[in-house]
Amino acid sequence: MTLTPFLAESPDATFRAGRELGARLRGGETLLLVGPLGAGKTTFTQGLCRGLGLDERTPVRSPSFALVNEYRGGRLPIRHADLYRLDDPGEMADLGLFDETDDTVVIVEWADRLGVPPGGKLIRVHIAIGEGEGRIITIDEGDA
């Protein structure tokens, strides 16, 4: 199901959009986030994690150097990847990002560097920079 693009007028609205989507997730989903540098992928991810029940005291930061962070303590386990520094999609196999994901929510920033997406329930999130602090968010939910 593709949703019509909508405007998030501020970083708070981008966060809220992520939180609302996160509240609907049930486990086994892979979220593929795409957008230019500074578009709000990490802000959206922070909202997703809060919508999944991750405690406010747990920091959600982009794992640009670690490549993958795991979060526990919410409704579901979360794996959060940032592929910005990934040069070769073949390097993904070593990360174990898609291993045993039945109840895990996998969030991939810079998913366009992934190559072929994994199978299963995919949610594609494209964030484009609008005017000022506005972001245009398009969410496409479907299977691989």
Residues 3-43 have pLDDT tens digits of 668 899 999 999 999 999 999 999 999 999 999 999 999 99
Residue 24: partners with Cβ closer than 8 Å, 6 or more residues away: 51
Q: Return the higher-pLDDT residue of 119 and 14.
A: 14
CB 60 within 8 A of CB 66: no
For 55, the token pair is 């405690």
Residue 143 banded pLDDT, cuts 50, 70, 90: low
β-bridge pairing 121-129 and 135-143: antiparallel
Residues 52-103 have pLDDT tens digits of 999 988 889 887 777 888 999 899 999 999 888 877 666 666 666 677 767 8
For the chain, how many helices (H) and strands (E)? 3, 7
Tracing tokens 């809060």 back to the chain, one arrives at: 50
Sorted by where each starts, the structural domains of the chain and their CATH numbers stand as 6-86+101-143 (3.40.50.300)
pLDDT at residue 62 in the model: 84
- Kindly tell me if the per-residue pLDDT of 144 is higher than 60: no
Q: Distance between CA atoms of 23 and 19, rounded to whole angstroms?
A: 6
Tracing tokens 């959600």 back to the chain, one arrives at: 60
pLDDT at residue 119 in the model: 72
